[in-house]
Chains A and B, each alone.
Chain A
Amino acid sequence: MKRMAIVGNHALSYGALLSRVQVIAAYPITPQTQVVELLSEMCADGTLKAEFVKVESEHSAMAAVMGASASGARAFTATSSQGLALMHEVLHWVTGARLPVVMGNINRAFGPPWSIWTEQTDSLSQRDTGWMQIYAQDNQEVLDSVILAYKVSEQVLLPTMVVLDAFFLSHTSEPVEIPDQEMVDEFLPPYENKYILNPDDPHAFGGLTNPEWYMELRYKIHKAHEEALQLIEKEGREFEKLFGRYYGLVDPYRVDDADTILVAVSTAASTARYAVDLLRERGKKVGLLRIRVFRPFPYERVKEILSGAKKVIVLDRNLSPGAGGIIASEVRGALANVKNHPPVFSYIMGLGGRDITTKNIMELFEEVEKMEEGKDIIWKGVKI
């Protein structure tokens, strides 16, 4: 094991390297370019024994990793925002074909107007594609999550997206432990799938399926997500045994006796952790629930943790125009069947990469302290 200061993008590349990916297909987009630049170098100098298909678009990138995975190769790609949106059709296809592809997505706001800064709307708007989604809060978690993603994906035959914030992680250097290859090999065996394109055992995959059977195939995809809920925690514990770091579905912080719990994802959650500490020093009973895995959505864990609180705040750095915060809508959904559930205060903030400061987050708690009834949408920091 060695320790290195690396940017989040390179944490993705190292995650792919250590996972011994065999086929990479990717197309450059800011702020993802460093991921593929480093992987190109690794392939060129033989550090990574993989085929790198330098495709002409993200649509083709996703199709190529799909073809590779269907042929029995471990496949990786990375993209962001416009590129992810361009992949949309194929994202659904990869899930339907039950292929354990893993990709990195650097959160970046959609145009127009052009923006290259972070916002979660790109990945969250792929919510219903059936991809598992992991939101990392630091570069160590980015690297580790790639390895964990393959481990879980290849067991349940579902794809996974490892998501990180533009610039706050993608371009920020942090000390990261690079695990030893032998230990990763011990944790992550080679990709084996008996349902592959094999001339010695020919099958047609994805042919026309009438209403008599289609629904059963979707049911199985959902069941695989449910299975993944268990597996993510189980493999998280296995990973911890080897590497000393645990990653679960959610990451609760000082929630046990908390009256008010803030729900957040990604780097906004790291900032919120600090805000919680400061407020605790002032005697406020506040806590944080970081959602790490957004799909499969950890309903049970979220209910368990939030139902004891008096108030729930959700911080959404994303927007479903006409509805509001995407994570808030999941949280409200999770609480709907809980008797006497706490009111939910849904905040939209930090869109297009606008800073979310410790002070901002402390303000949320202070504002909510004065409110009794939950609010479907509260805009924070809008200048008009």
Chain B
Amino acid sequence: MRKLTIPREEYMTPGHLACQGCGGALAMRLALKALGKKTILSIPACCWSVIDGPFPYSAAGVPIFHAPFETAASTSAGVAAAMKILGKEDVNVVAWAGDGGTFDIGIQAISGAAERGDNILYIVYDNEAYMNTGIQRSSATPYKAWTTTTPYKFPKARPKKDIIGILAAHKIPYAATATVAYAEDFVKKVKKAASMRGFRFIQVLSPCPPGWKTPPEITIKLARLAVQTGVFPLYEVENGEKYKINIKPKKLKPVIEYLKLQGRFRHLTQEDVDEIQRMVERNWKVLLAREEFSKQIEKIV
């Protein structure tokens, strides 16, 4: 029998306000299992400002500071500084934000905190659009996807921003991707990140049924397909240099298997799908090459 790596303890309680099949809610539940009770969350404007429950309720089971949209990293920087001066450095200081709060409006504060090496674990639950405000594009929205601001006639014209690349360029100790379908992998990464110091970053792909126009019961299937098709590879980068791919499918599944299940891609032509297929394959090869290269860095330098 395989060893159970996911702690049984539950911190998140029932009664939260997420939609059925919300990847973001599941991501939090798993992250808290990995982090444990000694955790402080800063949450900027995003679905999670609602999911946690209206005043005076809270579903998270750990303290939360609700913060302005672009301040997850900067508010957490202050929390981390306070923990240090107050001698409470055993507390996990966690910024928990959406892709909009991370890739777009919050990126300056993130870059600042990452460069300073503030002692924060930053987790972005990436649902690839501004869901709280009703599905508008973010710079995490994938190429050709529909959102209310990238309508079917003019779907998103540019690919998703490479946030891990940006964070890796800050030479932070740890940056990783994860998704809710690979729960053990995600929990392991959160634990690993929590055991390190400095600025650490995890991007967890979190399907959103209303935003992706998908039935709630296929959230896990979608997250798994995102990895198996190579659309969203699972990997880690240590110190901005050492790449490690965690899940390596022998052969990538065709992207159409992932795309065809989602209403946000239903307008795609065969050419669009072919183009996305080429992009995904290219990115995958580049990632494999990075991993290979990082094995040789020590020999080169």
**Among B66, B82, B111, B115, contact of A207 (Cβ-Cβ < 8 Å):** B66
Q: Give the distance to chain B from A51, nearest Cβ to Cβ, in Å.
A: 4
Interface residues of B in 30-61 (CB under 8 A from A): 37-40, 42, 49-50, 52-55, 57-58, 60-61
- Give the complex CA separation of A199 and B32 in angstroms: 12
- Give the complex CA separation of A63 and B68 in angstroms: 8
> Across the interface, which residues of A come within 8 angstroms of B83, CB to CB?
71
Interface residues of B in 56-80 (CB under 8 A from A): 57-58, 60-68, 70-71, 73-80
Given known A63-B78, A209-B55, contact A204–B64 (CB-CB < 8 A) = yes
Q: Across the A-B interface, how many residue pairs have beta carbons closer than 8 Å?
A: 162
Q: Give the distance to chain B from A156, nearest Cβ to Cβ, in Å.
A: 20
Q: Give the distance to chain A from B101, nearest Cβ to Cβ, in Å.
A: 12
- Give the complex CA separation of A202 and B57 in angstroms: 11
Interface string of A56-74 (1 = CB under 8 A from B): 1101110111111111110
B15 beta carbon closer than 8 Å to chain A: no
CB pair A57 B108 closer than 8 Å? yes
- Give the complex CA separation of A49 and B86 in angstroms: 11
- Give the complex CA separation of A163 and B135 in angstroms: 43
Q: Give the distance to chain A from B113, nearest Cβ to Cβ, in Å.
A: 8
> Across the interface, which residues of A come within 8 angstroms of B109, CB to CB?
56-57, 59-60, 63
> Across the interface, which residues of A come within 8 angstroms of B91, CB to CB?
199
Specify which of B55, B74, B109, B111 lies most central, judged by the most chain A CB atoms within 10 Å of its CB.
Answer: B74
> Across the interface, which residues of B come within 8 angstroms of A198, CB to CB?
63
Specify which of A68, A197, A209 lies most central, judged by the most chain B CB atoms within 10 Å of its CB.
Answer: A197
B236 beta carbon closer than 8 Å to chain A: no
Interface string of B89-126 (1 = CB under 8 A from A): 00100000000000000001101100110100000000
Q: Give the distance to chain B from A244, nearest Cβ to Cβ, in Å.
A: 32
> Across the interface, which residues of A come within 8 angstroms of B64, CB to CB?
202-205, 207
CB pair B66 A56 closer than 8 Å? no
**Among B38, B53, B86, B108, contact of A56 (Cβ-Cβ < 8 Å):** B108
Which 7 A-B residue pairings sit nearest by Cβ, starting from the closest? A67-B78, A56-B112, A71-B82, A206-B66, A64-B78, A60-B74, A204-B58
**Residues of A near any B CB (own CB < 8 A):** 22-23, 25, 49-51, 53-57, 59-61, 63-73, 75, 89-90, 93, 97, 197-199, 201-210, 213
6 A-B pairs besides A67-B74, A67-B76, A75-B78 with CB distance below 8 A are A22-B85, A50-B85, A93-B68, A207-B55, A210-B55, A213-B55
